Chain A
Amino acid sequence: MELNFAELKKGGFMKHVQKDYFAVRLRVAGGNLSLEQLKIIQGVAEKYGQGYVHLTTRQGMEIPFIHFKDIENVRRELIDGGVNLGVCGGTVRGVMACHGTAMCPHGLIDAKALSREIDAAYFAAPVPGKFKIAVTGCPRSCAKPQENDFGFEGAVVPEFHQHDCIGCGVCAEVCPADAIEMRDNVPEIDRSKCTNCGDCVASCPTAAWQAGERGVKVWAGGRIGRNPKLGEVVIDFLPVHKIPRVIEASLEFFREHGKTKERFGKVIERIGIDRYKEVLEHAAQGDS
Chain B
Amino acid sequence: MQLKETLNITGDACPMTFVRTKLALEPLTRGDILEVVLNGGEAVKNVPRSVRGEGHKVLFLEKQDDGTYRMLVEKEGGHE
Residue of A nearest to B72 (CB): A166
What interface size band does chain A fall in?
10 to 19
Give chain A residues whose Cβ lies under 8 Å from the Cβ of B63. Answer: 168-169, 173
Contact between B52 and A174 (Cβ–Cβ < 8 Å)?
no
Give Cα distance in the complex from A168 to B41, angstroms: 14
Cross-chain contact of A206 among B44, B45, B46, B58 (Cβ < 8 A):
B58
Residues of B within 8 Å of A203, CB to CB, are 44-46, 48-49
- In Å, the complex CA distance between A173 and B38 comes to 14
Chain B residues contacting A202 (CB-CB under 8 Å) are: 45, 49
Asked if B59 and A170 make an inter-chain contact with CB atoms under 8 angstroms apart, the answer reads no
Q: Is the CB of A205 within 8 A of B45?
A: no
Bound Cα distance from A174 to B44, whole angstroms: 9
Residue of A nearest to B62 (CB): A168
Shortest Cβ distance from residue A204 to the other chain B in the assembled complex, whole angstroms = 6
Residues of B within 8 Å of A204, CB to CB, are 49
Residue interface bits A146-170, CB-to-B below 8 A is 1, else 0:
0000000000000000000010111
Total count of chain B residues near the partner, CB < 8 A = 17
A205 B62 Cβ-Cβ under 8 A: no
Bound Cα distance from A169 to B63, whole angstroms: 8
Q: Is A207 an interface residue (CB 8 A)?
A: yes
The answer to whether A206 and B52 touch across the interface, beta carbons within 8 angstroms, is yes
Which of B48, B51, B60 contacts A170, CB < 8 Å? B48
Residue A199 interfacial (CB < 8 Å): yes
Q: Is the CB of B52 within 8 A of A170?
A: no
| Residues in A whose Cβ lies below 8 Å from that of B69 | 168, 170
Contact call A205/B48, Cβ cutoff below 8 A = yes
Nearest CB of A to B47, in Å:
9
Q: How far is the CB of B40 from chain A (nearest CB, A)?
A: 6
Q: How far is the CB of A221 from chain B (nearest CB, A)?
A: 32
Q: Which B residue's beta carbon lies closest to that of A207? A: B52
Q: B7 near A: Cβ within 8 Å?
A: no
Contact of A166 among B44, B49, B60 (CB under 8 A): B60
- Which chain A residues numbered 204 to 219 have a C-beta less than 8 Å away from chain B? 204-207
B46 vs chain A, min Cβ distance (A)? 7
Contacts of B51 in A (CB 8 A): 205
Chain B neighbourhood of A173, CB < 8 A: 40-41, 44-45, 63
Q: Which residue of B has the minimal Cβ distance to A203? A: B45
Instruction: Name the residue among B45, B46, B60, B69 with the largest chain A CB count within 10 angstroms.
Output: B45
Interface residues of B in 1-48 (CB under 8 A from A): 40-41, 44-46, 48
Given contacts A203-B48, A205-B48, A205-B58, 18 further A-B contacts (CB under 8 A): A166-B58, A166-B61, A168-B60, A168-B61, A168-B62, A169-B63, A170-B45, A170-B48, A170-B61, A170-B69, A173-B41, A174-B44, A174-B45, A199-B45, A204-B49, A205-B52, A205-B71, A207-B52
**Top 6 A-B pairs, shortest CB-CB distance:** A205-B48, A168-B61, A205-B58, A203-B45, A174-B45, A205-B52
Q: Could you write out 21 A-B pairs with CB less than 8 Å apart?
A: A166-B59, A166-B60, A168-B48, A168-B60, A168-B61, A168-B63, A170-B48, A170-B61, A173-B41, A173-B44, A173-B45, A174-B44, A203-B44, A203-B45, A203-B46, A204-B49, A205-B58, A205-B61, A205-B71, A206-B52, A207-B52
